[in-house]
Amino acid sequence: MTTAAPNTGLEDVVVSTSEICFIDGDRGRLLYRGYDIHDLVAHSTFEEAVYLLWHGRLPTRPELERFRKDLTTQRRLPPKVLALLEGFPRKADAMDVVRTAVSAMGLYDPDAADNSREANLRRAVRIQAQVATLVAAWARIRKGKPPVAPNARLGLAANFLYMLSGKKPSDLAAKAMDTALILHADHELNASTFAARVTVATLSDIYSGIVSGVGALKGPLHGGANVGVIRMLLEIGEVDRAEAWIKSALAQKKRIMGFGHRVYNTEDPRATHLRKMSEALGREAGDLRWYETSRIVERVVKEQKGLNPNVDFYSASTYYSMGIDPDLYTPIFVVSRVSGWIAHVLEQQANNRLIRPRAEYTGPQQVSWVPLDQR
Ligand SMILES: CC(C)(COP(=O)(O)OP(=O)(O)OC[C@H]1O[C@@H](n2cnc3c(N)ncnc32)[C@H](O)[C@@H]1OP(=O)(O)O)[C@@H](O)C(=O)NCCC(=O)NCCS
């Protein structure tokens, strides 16, 4: 039995091989199936990136058209899941709603107990398409507004923004959302992806795997960090307060959300794109306050702690400039990352072995039993 150093959170421990995602933490490179995310952002769409993640290669034109059509026709939620959303407490945490509703989606899946790869690919399309509808529907239902039916003429990202607001998004906003979805799609064995793989490795079903992923992503050290970032920016409030605010937070040894990363020792390549989008959308909205505040926070944290922004830092001001409610930022992460979870679930199922590590026992041994009335 090999023993990892205690309490290192499996840092740098390689538990599996995978052909899906490559991260070079020293050089700030991120590849999906060998393709650099910079190329995917420049030339691809989210749908094409999802096909790549699931099938291991770029689609031909007819394959992509077919895939897009499948994703578009599967957007509607099962009516009973929609009814369930209507009954949830309006103040419920949006990630709790997503977790519960994804679980419920599994109850209405027409492939029932078929656990073949073909059935799982059909499920994958349904889950990918419906999660966006689910997040947008909840965003409206909790405000007493009726959900907006999906628009089949729009791609996944633009349609998601359309279902949130009921208005067709600007080209810039649609492109920014598509880019954000590409950038969040996969990131090797992060906590939520590992959770999803562990779950399906018991031969449990794909919905259970995705529900595990959602639960793990919710935490503030993982997908919940983007909400922490916008809370911080709103608390800072004005550009000229940023420097003093962040210096004081660092002096109090506070953990600054959106900075630091387990794997990157340099700039997270996803932050490079999100920084640009944050500026462009701030400009389009006529309010650069959040972008400029972020720039100051970034400079001070780099100077004082040597930490770089991660994917969550600029996604916060990007989404805020689009008028999206802060508590939806982590659910939007799900809309994208569900594609990566599915790719990993399919890979796990294709060559499965139960994932069952050991713990080094450090508790007492052979303690004598003490009867109840003598304790
Ligand atoms: C992502 C994260 C969990 C990685 O953590 P990790 O590799 O386990 O690193 P640790 O938590 O052990 O931190 C190592 C040191 O850096 C500091 N540090 C790491 N991230 C920090 C942050 N965001 N703000 C302030 N200090 C930070 C820690 O305080 C610690 O300092 P110490 O050794 O003086 O105690 C961590 O950087 C973090 O909490 N970031 C904020 C949350 C976030 O943005 N998450 C999204 C990740 S994509």
Q: Residue 314 and residue 161: Cα distance in Å, rounded? A: 18
Residue nearest to atom 9 of ligand 1 (CA): 262
Annotated catalytic residue within 184, 261, 273, 344? 261
Q: Which of 224, 227, 249, 230 is nearest to 300 (CA)?
A: 249
Q: Is the CB of 268 under 6 A from ligand 1?
A: no
Q: Is 312 a catalytic residue?
A: yes
DSSP annotation of 259: B
Annotated catalytic residue within 109, 184, 312, 344? 312
Could you tell me the distance, in angstroms and rounded to a whole number, from the CA of residue 239 to the centre of ligand 1? 25
Q: Which of 135, 126, 117, 111 is nearest to 71 (CA)?
A: 126
Q: Which of 178, 223, 136, 222 is nearest to 40 (CA)?
A: 178
Give the residue ranges of the chain where pLDDT is below 50. none
Q: Is the CB of 229 under 6 A from ligand 1?
A: no
- Mutation test residue for ligand 1: of 254, 255, 262, 274, the one with most atoms within 8 Å of CB: 255
Taking the alpha carbons at both ends of the chain, their separation in whole angstroms is: 37
Strand order in the sheet with 21-24: 21-24, 29-32, 35-36
Q: Is the CB of 306 under 6 A from ligand 1?
A: no
**pTM for the whole structure:** 0.95
Contacts of 60 (CB under 8 A, 6+ apart): none
Q: 75-109: string of b/e by CB count within 10 Å (b at 16+)? A: bebbeebbebbeeeeeeeebbebbbbbbebbbeeb
Residue range 181-211, pLDDT digits in tens: 999 999 999 999 999 999 999 999 999 999 9
Q: Is the CB of 261 under 6 A from ligand 1?
A: yes
Q: Which of 343, 94, 121 is nearest to 226 (CA)?
A: 94
Q: Is 205 a catalytic residue?
A: no
Report pLDDT for 4. Answer: 66
Could you tell me the distance, in angstroms and rounded to a whole number, from the CA of residue 29 to the centre of ligand 1? 20
The number of the ligand 1 atom at minimal distance from the alpha carbon of 223 is 46
Give the β-pairing of 35-36 and 21-24: unpaired
Could you tell me the distance, in angstroms and rounded to a whole number, from the CA of residue 3 to the centre of ligand 1? 24
Report pLDDT for 1. Answer: 72
